[in-house]
């Protein structure tokens, strides 16, 4: 394993990667660091093509030392699909959709769960707890079951019903909260505090290894493009771990010498009903104030106060990217339009990225001829209520 230590991006302090870690004492999430110079000397990117089509093909750049602890359901290496018909309609001829809906548990959250649970198991953790908007809880409950860990999951009562069913099926201790993810987080924080160290907090960015699983989306995008980078990557942003992870992956690839200095411009997409990152980005702030009365059909990005706000904003600015908010009516319209033109039903968070791409192209921020990758972070079939069928006629028998 080439993992060397954990680093605080806030205060710069280094932490031991061989013991369970949560946040730095300064309150910042921790980032895993690797001996990339050695990796570059022993590994060439062409070797990945000879390995299994899962995220574990990048094992030298992941934090699990002993393969016996790898907990996998075949996650990763999701397809990147061209969308020529919809792309032509919005003026983006090279529009690509990275479809994370085909991962185990039906969302990109399986990437973070696979690596996070594997590393937790390796470090001797036996019980995990976390708040969730739905898909992350379902993924972590599933992978915890496969690894033989106990999982306590708290989610808003309004989260997609399929996610609570996945948690129960996986044997997790599910707790529904009448509120938002922040309310669920407070429930978990109290539980962890009272556990005398027997329950590990695996919440978003509160441990460093979920991010390592999600960064593999960045590796895959580049490898699937023949070790070239796109011009723009558009990502639905709630807690922001995927966007932070992709930015981290791109930086690692550049340090390894596997891509050139030019990096994609990153776009954080939020809903007009919950847009703390968009507001902070527009104001030139380094921190995002909590968003009051948060609500959106794209439930996965309903995060009023993301812990990783500084890392998200830093990634956007470092990549010359931007942040944009789109409204629910447009999300649902683009979801239907894309499905009718391309035959792929996106999750509402993925559809929000389409709306963003359409608006950014119309405004000139995305230029003609640019290659744009949109992340569809989950399977559309997990959100049946996004398609209204009330006006479909019922024929007599």
Radius of gyration from C-alpha coordinates of the chain: 20
pLDDT on residue 368 = 97
Give the relative orientation of helices 309-318 and 241-256 as an angle to the nearest 10 degrees: 50
Q: Where are the beta strands (DSSP E) in the chain?
A: 3-7, 14-15, 31-34, 80-82, 94-99, 127-131, 150-156, 173-177, 200-201, 232-236, 265-271, 322-326, 371-376
Does residue 1 surpass a pLDDT of 90? no
Q: Are strands 232-236 and 94-99 parallel, antiparallel or unpaired?
A: unpaired
Task: State the pLDDT confidence band at 179, using cuts at 50, 70 and 90.
Answer: very high
Q: Take residue 360 and report the two structure tokens written for it.
A: 């950014």
pLDDT in tens, 382-391: 999 999 999 9
Residue partners of 41: CB distance under 8 A and separation at least 6: none
pLDDT on residue 261 = 85
Task: State the pLDDT confidence band at 313, using cuts at 50, 70 and 90.
Answer: very high
pLDDT on residue 91 = 98
pLDDT on residue 325 = 98
Q: CB-side exposure of 372: number of CA atoms within 13 Å?
A: 30
Does residue 315 surpass a pLDDT of 90? yes
Residue partners of 223: CB distance under 8 A and separation at least 6: 45, 48
Q: Take residue 241 and report the two structure tokens written for it.
A: 């771990």
Residue 113 to residues 97, 256, 269: CA-CA distances in angstroms? 22, 26, 23
What mean pLDDT is predicted for residues 172-182? Answer: 95
pLDDT in tens, 2-60: 999 999 999 999 999 999 999 999 999 999 999 999 999 999 999 999 999 999 999 99
Does residue 89 surpass a pLDDT of 90? yes
pLDDT on residue 228 = 96
Tell me the average pLDDT of the chain: 97
**pTM exceeds 0.75:** yes
271 beta partners: 274, 326
pLDDT in tens, 316-368: 999 999 999 999 999 999 999 999 999 999 999 999 999 999 999 999 999 99
pLDDT in tens, 273-311: 999 999 999 999 999 999 999 999 999 999 999 999 999
pLDDT on residue 372 = 98
Report d(CA 267, CA 322) in Å as an integer.
5
Residue partners of 330: CB distance under 8 A and separation at least 6: 355
DSSP string, 261-306: S--PEEEEEEETTB-HHHHHHHHT-SS-PPPTT---S-GGG--SS-
Task: State the pLDDT confidence band at 244, using cuts at 50, 70 and 90.
Answer: very high
Report d(CA 75, CA 105) in Å as an integer.
9
pLDDT on residue 145 = 98
Report d(CA 305, CA 323) in Å as an integer.
16
CA 76 to chain centre: 12
SS (H, E, C) 191-247: HHHCCCCCCEECCCCCCCCHHHHHCHHHHHHHHHCCCCCCCEEEEECCCCHHHHHHH
The closest of 125, 179, 126, 173 to 153, measured between CA atoms, is 173
């Amino acid at each position: 394993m080439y993992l060397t230590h954990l680093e605080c991006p806030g205060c710069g302090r280094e932490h031991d990667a061989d013991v369970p870690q949560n946040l730095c004492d300064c309150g910042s999430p921790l980032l895993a660091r690797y001996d990339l110079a050695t990796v570059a000397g022993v590994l060439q990117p062409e070797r990945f093509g000879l390995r299994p089509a899962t995220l574990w093909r990048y094992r030298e750049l992941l934090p699990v030392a002993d393969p016996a602890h790898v907990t996998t359901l075949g996650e990763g290496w999701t397809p990147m699909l061209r969308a020529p018909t919809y792309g032509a309609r919005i003026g983006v001829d090279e529009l690509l959709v990275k479809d994370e809906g085909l991962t185990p548990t039906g969302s990109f959250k399986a990437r973070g769960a696979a690596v996070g649970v594997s590393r937790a198991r390796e470090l001797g953790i036996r019980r995990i707890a976390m708040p969730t908007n739905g898909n992350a809880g379902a993924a972590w409950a599933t992978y915890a079951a496969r690894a033989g860990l106990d999982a306590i999951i708290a989610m808003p009562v309004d989260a997609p019903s399929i996610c609570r069913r996945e948690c129960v099926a996986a044997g997790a201790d599910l707790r529904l909260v009448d509120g938002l993810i922040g309310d669920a987080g407070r429930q978990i924080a109290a539980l962890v505090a009272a556990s005398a160290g027997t329950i590990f907090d695996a919440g978003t960015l509160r441990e460093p290894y979920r991010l390592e699983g999600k960064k593999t989306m960045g590796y895959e995008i580049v490898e699937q493009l023949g070790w070239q980078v796109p011009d723009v990557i558009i990502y639905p942003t709630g807690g922001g771990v995927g966007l932070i992870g992709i930015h981290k992956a791109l930086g690692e690839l550049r340090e390894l010498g596997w891509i050139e200095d030019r990096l994609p411009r990153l776009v954080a997409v939020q809903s007009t009903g919950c847009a703390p990152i968009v507001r902070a980005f527009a104001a030139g702030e380094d921190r995002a104030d909590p968003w009051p009365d948060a609500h959106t059909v794209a439930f996965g990005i309903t995060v009023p106060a993301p812990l990783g706000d500084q890392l998200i904003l830093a990634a956007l600015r470092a990549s010359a990217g931007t942040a944009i908010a789109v409204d629910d009516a447009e999300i649902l319209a683009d979801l239907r339009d894309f499905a009718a033109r391309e035959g792929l039903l996106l999750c509402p968070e993925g559809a929000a990225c389409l709306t963003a791409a359409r608006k950014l192209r119309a405004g000139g921020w995305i230029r003609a001829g640019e290659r744009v990758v949109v992340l569809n972070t989950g399977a559309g079939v997990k959100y049946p209520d996004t398609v209204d069928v009330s006006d479909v006629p019922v024929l007599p028998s």
